[in-house]
Amino acid sequence: MQHRRQTISLLAKAAAITAILAAGLAGGLAGGLPAAAAETGPVRVGEINSYTGLPAFTIPYRQGWQLAVEEVNAKGGVLGGRKLEVISRDDAGKPDDAVRVAQELVTNEKVDLLAGTYFSHIGLAVADFAARNKVPFVAAEPLTDAITWAQGNRYTFRLRPSTYMQAAMLVEEAAKLPAKRWATVAPNYEYGQSAVAWFKQLLKEKRPDVEFVAEQWPAQGKLEAGPTVQALAAATPEAIFNVTFGADLAKLVREGETRGLFRNRKVVSLLTGEPDYLEPMKDEAPEGWIVTGYPWEQIDTPVHKAFVAAYAARFKDQPKQGSLVGYTTMKAIAAAIDKAGSTDREKVVDALSGLTLDSPVGPVTFRASDHQSTMGAFVGTTTVKDGRGTMKDWRYADGTAYLPSDEAARKLRPAE
C-alpha cells in the first residue's frame, strides 16, 4: 500500500508540474502569429519600457508615441497604406526581463523593429540583443554614452541627447560664470559619474583656473539630504554642479533652501528644467539654476504648438519631456520605414543611418557615424511663475554643436 501511495503522490506531483509548464507554454505559443501577413498587414513595432518601474516618466512617454502612431495611421500609415502597430511591454525595470521580452516580441509577435527603454543598463542589454539578432533598435530615452559609443553597434540608434551632450551644453554656460571653486553632487551610478567626469573635463578645458573642492555621491533614491547639504556647504564652493533628479532632487532643494546652501551660489544642474522634475516641486522649484530642460509652454513655433495642442486634446494633459521623446521616436521609425521602402531589417538600419526628420523642436538627424540623433535640449534658467517651476532666458541648443566630429565619433566605436 505504502508503495502505491507514493507512486500516486509522485504522479500527482509530476502532473502538477506538467500542468504548470503546459499553461506557460500555451501562453508562450499563443502569441505565435503566422508571418504570412508580412507584406500586407500592419508594420509591427515592439516597444519596451519601464512602465511599472518608473511610471512618472514612462507614461507621458507612452502617450507621446501613442499620439505619433495615431497621426501616422490617420495619414494613411507607412509604405503606402500599411498601418503602424505597436506592441508594448513592461520590462519591470530589470535588464534580464527586458531581454526576454525583446525575444518574445521578435519571435512571437514578429515585430519588424524594437524601440524604447529608459534606464541605461536596460537600453544596453536590449542594444546587445538587437545586434546579436540583427533587429533595428531605436533607443528612446537612455542617456549613457556607451550605447552609441563604447558599446555602439550597427543596429542601435539613440534619440535623446546623451549625457556627454547635455554636460557640454551646461559647460558652455558654466564657463561664463566667475566661479572658480566648484562642488558636485551626483547619484552614485554610471549616469552620475560620467556626467560629473565630462563636466569636470570639459570645464577644465575652457577654464583651467577652476578647481573642484568637494564631491558627494548619494545612492540613487537614498539621498541623506541634511548631511549632504551640510557637507557641500562646508567646502565653501562658489558654484555647484548637480546631477541628482526626481525625489532626491526635491529633497536636496528643500533641505538646501532651508539650510541656505544656495544663497549667493550658482547652481548648474542637469535635466532639472524638464517638467518631469520641475513640476512636482511646485512653488518650491529652485530659482536661478542654470539647467537643461524643456519649457514646453513657451516654445511658440507653429509645429511645436500643434504638437502641444494635439497632445492636450488627446490626453487632457500637458506634455512632458518623455512625451516629446516618445512622439519623436515613433515619428522617426515611421520615417525610416518609408525611407527604406520595406520592413527588411537591413534596409531599415540603412535608412535610419543619416535619417533626417522634422521633430516638434526642429530638424533631427540620426548621424550615420555614431547613430546618435542631433536632437538638442533647451538651456536656460529656472524660475517660479504662478506657483510653478519653469524656465526663462532659454535657447535651443542643437545637438549638432555638442557632438564630436564624425571621424572622432567613429573612433569611439570599437565594435565597428
Partner 1 sequence: MSFLLVQALSGLATAATLFLVSSGLTIVFGVTRIVNFAHGSFYMVGAYAGWSLIERFGGTAAGFWGSVAAAAIAVGCLGAAMEIGLLRRLYRSPELFQLLGTFGVVLVVQDLAAWGWGSEDLLGRRAPGLKGSIDILGQSFPLYDLVLIGLGPLVLALLWALFNRTRWGTLVRAATQDREMASALGVDPARLFTGVLFLGGALAGLGGALQVPREAVTLQMDMAIVVEAFVVVVVGGMGSLTGAFLASLLIGQLQAFGILVFPQITLVLVFLFMAVVLVLRPHGLLGRAEEAPPTAPAAVTVPLAAGRNAGWWALALLAAMAALPLAVGDYALILLTETVILALFAASLHLLIGLGGLVSFGHAAWFGLGAYGAALLVRHLGAPMPLALAGAPLLAGAGALVAGWFCVRRSGLYFAMLTLAFAQIAWSVAFQWYAVTGGDNGILGVWPSPWAAGKAAYYWLTLALCGGALWLLRRAAFAPFGYALRAGRDSGLRAESVGIDVRRFQWMAFVLAGAAAGLAGGLYAFAKGSVFPTLLAVPLSVDALVMVLMGGIQTVAGPLAGAAAFHLLESEVMSLTDWWRLALGLVIVALVLLFPRGIVGFVAGLRGRA
Q: Report the residue number, 283 or 406, with the smaller CB distance to partner 1.
A: 283
**Residue 51 interacts with partner 1 (CB under 8 A)?**
yes
Q: Contact region for partner 1 (CB under 8 A) — 116-124, 161-169, 324-332, 376-384?
A: 116-124
Residue from 174, 271, 281, 290 binding partner 1 (CB under 8 A): 281
Closest approach, Cβ 93 to partner 1, in A, equals: 8
Stretch that binds partner 1, among 74-82, 95-103, 204-212, 297-305 (CB under 8 A): 95-103
> Is residue 156 a contact point for partner 1 (CB under 8 A)?
no
Which 3-state string (H, E, C) describes the chain? CHHHHHHHHHHHHHHHHHHHHHHHHHHHHHCCCCHHHHHCCCEEEEEEECCCCCHHHHHHHHHHHHHHHHHHHHCCCECCCECEEEEEEECCCCHHHHHHHHHHHHHCCCCCEEEECCCHHHHHHHHHHHHHHCCCEEECCCCCHHHCCCCCCCCEEECCCCHHHHHHHHHHHHCCCCCCEEEEECCCCHHHHHHHHHHHHHHHHHCCCCEEEEEECCCCCCCCHHHHHHHHHHCCCCEEEECCCHHHHHHHHHHHHHCCCCCCCEEEEEEEECHHHHHHHHHHCCCCCEEEECCCCCCCCHHHHHHHHHHHHHHCCCCCHHHHHHHHHHHHHHHHHHHHCCCCHHHHHHHHCCCEEEECCEEEEECCCCCEECCCEEEEEEEEECCEEEEEEEEEECHHHHCCCHHHHHHCCCCC
358 SS3 class: strand
| Interaction pattern, residues 283-302, with partner 1; x per rule: CB under 8 A | -x------------------
Q: Any idea of the CA torsion for 194, 325, 175, 371, to the nearest 10 degrees?
A: 60
Q: Which of 70, 71, 83, 94 binds partner 1 (CB under 8 A)?
A: 94
Task: Among 113, 125, 159, 168, indicate the residue that binds partner 1 (CB under 8 A).
Answer: 125
* Residue 268 grid cell: 548648474
Verify binding: residue 166, partner 1, rule CB under 8 A.
no
**Based on CB atoms, which residue is closest to partner 1, 179 or 247?**
247
Task: Restricting to residues 206-265, name those near partner 1 by CB under 8 A.
Answer: 215-219, 221-222, 224-228, 230-231, 233-234, 246-247, 250-251, 254-255, 258-260
Least distance in Å: CB of 291 to partner 1? 18
Binding of partner 1 by 134 (CB under 8 A) = no
Binding test (CB under 8 A) with partner 1, winner from 72, 99, 336, 349: 99
The 53-92 contact track toward partner 1, x by CB under 8 A, reads --xx--x-----------------------------xx-x
* Options 38, 132, 301, 344; binder of partner 1; rule CB under 8 A: 132
Q: Among 282, 305, 314, 392, which residue interacts with partner 1 (rule: CB under 8 A)?
A: 282
Helix residue ranges, H only, 235-270: 246-258
CB of 345 to partner 1, least distance (A): 17
| Residues 306-335 within binding reach of partner 1 (CB under 8 A) | none
Q: Which of 37, 176, 188, 341 binds partner 1 (CB under 8 A)?
A: 188
Nearest residue (CB) to partner 1, 105 versus 336: 105
- 87 three-class SS: strand
Q: Does 13 bind partner 1 (CB under 8 A)?
A: yes
Binding segment for partner 1 among 125-133, 159-167, 294-302, 396-404 (CB under 8 A)? 125-133
How many residues in the shown chain lie near partner 1 by CB under 8 A?
87
Nearer Cβ to partner 1 (177/384) = 384
